[in-house]
Amino acid sequence: MDAQFYPTPPDLAARAWGKFKNREFTRVLEPSAGDGALADANPRERDYYRRNIPIDCCELDISKHPMLRAKDYDVVGVDFMQFSSGSIYSHVILNPPFANGAAHVLKAWDLVWDAEIVAIINAETVRNRCSKERQMLGNLIDQFGEVEFIADAFMVPDAERKTAVEVALVYLRKEANVAVDIVGDLLSDLNDDAETGAGLAGGYEEVHALALPNSFVENTVRAFKAAVRTMREAVFGEARAHYYATLLGDTMAVRNGDGGASKPDTSVKWVQGEIAKRYSLLKDRAWAGILRSTNVTSRLSSSAQQRVEKEFADIKKLEFTVPNIYGFLCGLVENRAAMQLEMACDVFDLITRYHSDNTVFYKGWKSNDRHRTAGMKIKTTRFVLPGHGTHSYQHGLNYESTRLLADFDKVFAMLDGKIEPEVSLVQTFSAHFADLKHGARVSSSYFDVRYYPGAGTIHFFSTNRKLVDRLNRLVGRHRQWLPPEGAKVSDAFWLSFDSAEKLDKELRTEINNAAGRSYWDHPLHNICSGDEDRKARAMEAIDDAATVVLERHGINVDFQIDAQQPEQLRLAA
């Protein structure tokens, strides 16, 4: 446990929240959130009318981020001392590391524009002004706040970690200079009004491309900062324009009752809310640009990208900084192996889900519940995908069909150890669509394809059966249809695995005989079902049929790992 991490006891947390004098919480920042103990004491938990208070958190320990998000707090930063987006907050509440209390409170003061700050820090930090930081903090308290000293606040029974240190409960109020920030000084150097629209816009020049360094990440952050700065100026400008417009009074049309009266808001609350809304949209744009511009993402299948983008809803709430971006990208790279496995499973399921004739079955290894189950393999000769029909006037496949082909390209290139195929399926259908519609068989890097637009089917003929076998083995091991990698099992198991296509017709006959005439309870129907229980029963029925067929051919189905294998390998099986 971090020696500086002292979760705030509930009574002290409630006392800290009670220090705020302005109870209209526009947006709250908790810069050292920990496990959320201080944020948990917020009024929205006790007051029905305040349940929509947005609370943002910074926390160095990223393992605590999921817990904070589960509590409905937005994680917007990791290191608060690197955080820079504070003008949107009306309140800041913090229990920083005791050793750095003064620095954290001064950082909060510099960040905010118009806000209240409450901090729980070591009492010695306030009493003993022995450093420049402590002197600055003391001066702020003298001019803009107050302090309350509390003994034994971390010695109460419900304190998660106890310490006898005395704490100071610091309150600061920073007020915006509305006269300067919003109203400004625009009523000077007045001239007769001889301006036209062109004249008023005469100082405007088109924004040219930024001359930025070569790094994409650094370039994007610079562009984001420029956008935020310009947006902030625009909001302030709107507030000023509203303010001076109200000094002029309503238009003649409004006074005559011909139009609705305009009542623009120029308050600090409006400015903060408008900046927060626009800032959030800019962050959304910026993070989306990063996600969709990386080499990692460009190699993801559509399903894998959707999974990343689902998590992206939380990621885009982080402050848009270079360290946060690289942290996000490193996380993608570290999880790439898992993502590639998910992509392989996605493509395997696309091929096997809608057409049982695309698969052959074999007697599988043992699942987690130690029961035998059938395994599935994609046919290495040919498989068919339905649902891709086109009309005579179309000159290409629809978006969904093209995206499916792109997923195939990415996964089979990955299995081949390449970034992309030399001739992709997408390119093949784009360049030869007319030929394909008229029955031609056209080659891509990994498949020959035929297309039947009326039936809406695409037929795939593998030109590299090793890659299909690699996919079958990858998914088979992941789903425990195959024994663990490196395990030495009886030759009979691999004989049954390799014989699956040759014995497929006989196995299907055995399945049909055992199932009778019931279509809705037929294993070959239920194997494509979305109901997991029905699918599991189907796999068990197919496994039973496989036992009959294999024994008929003299193949021993009592598969075992070699007893000479290491103990941990036998246990894993």
Contacts of 551 (CB under 8 A, 6+ apart): 557
Helix, strand, coil tally for the chain in percent (to 5): 50, 15, 40
Could you read off the pLDDT of 426-461 as tens digits, one per residue? Answer: 999 999 999 999 999 999 999 999 999 999 999 999
pLDDT confidence of residue 263: 60
Distance CA 52, CA 321 (A): 27
Q: Supply 401's token pair.
A: 């069909």
pLDDT band per the 50, 70, 90 thresholds, residue 571: very low
CB 402 within 8 A of CB 395: no
pLDDT digits (tens, 9 = 90+) for 144-198: 999 999 998 888 887 777 888 889 999 999 988 766 666 655 444 455 555 555 5
- Residue holding tokens 């195939």? 408
Query: Does the pLDDT of residue 572 top 90, yes or no?
Result: no
Neighbours of 561 (CB within 10 A): 20
List pLDDT tens digits, range 373-382: 788 999 998 9
Q: What is the pTM of this model?
A: 0.64
In angstroms, the CA 107 to CA 117 distance is 11
C-alpha to C-alpha distance for 500 and 361, rounded to whole angstroms: 6
Across the chain, what does the average pLDDT equal?
Answer: 83
231-241, pLDDT tens digit by residue? 988 988 888 88
For the purposes of burial, counting CB atoms within 10 Å of the CB of 418, is it exposed (0-12), middle (13-18) or buried (19 or more)?
Answer: exposed
Residue type, 502: K
Residue 369 has pLDDT above 50, yes or no: no
Extents of the domains making up the chain: 10-175, 216-334
Kindly indicate the confidence band of residue 201, based on its pLDDT and cuts at 50, 70 and 90. Answer: low
Give burial (CB, 10 Å; 0-12/13-18/19+) of 181: middle
At 534, the pLDDT band (50, 70, 90 cuts) reads: confident
Q: How far apart are the first and last CA of the chain?
A: 37
- pLDDT for 336 equals 78
How confident is the model over 336-349, as pLDDT tens digits? 788 889 999 999 99
Write the CATH number of the domain with boundaries 10-175. 3.40.50.150
Predicted local distance difference test score (pLDDT) of residue 419: 84
The widest CA-to-CA distance across the chain, in whole angstroms, is 106
pLDDT at 573: 38
Q: Summarize pLDDT for 285-319 with one digit per residue, the tens.
A: 999 888 877 666 677 888 888 888 788 888 888 88
Give residue 183's pLDDT.
Answer: 60
Cα distance between residue 333 and residue 338, in whole Å: 10
Q: Hey, CA dihedral for 479, 485, 490, 492, is it positive or negative?
A: positive
Q: How many other C-beta atoms can be found within 10 angstroms of the C-beta atom of residue 540? A: 15
Structure tokens at 423: 């001739």
Name which of 81, 79, 36 is nearest 59 in CA terms: 79
CA torsion 80-86-88-94 (nearest 10°) is 50
Q: Which residues contact 555 (CB under 8 A, 6 or more apart)?
A: 492, 495, 496, 499
HSE-CB of 352 using CA atoms within 13 angstroms: 26
| Residue with the larger pLDDT of the pair 139 and 214 | 139
Percentage, residues of the chain above pLDDT 90: 40
- pLDDT band at residue 372 under the 50/70/90 scheme: low
494-510 pLDDT tens trace: 888 999 999 999 999 98
Give the pLDDT score at 219.
Answer: 85
pLDDT tens, 2-53? 555 678 898 999 999 999 998 888 899 999 999 999 999 988 655 555 557 8
Instruction: Identify any residues that bridge with 58 across adjacent strands, giving them in sequence order.
Output: 77
Q: Using the 8-state DSSP alphabet, how is residue 489 labeled? A: B
pLDDT band at 1 (very low <50, low <70, confident <90, very high): very low
- Whether the CA torsion 436, 438, 441, 443 is positive or negative: it is negative
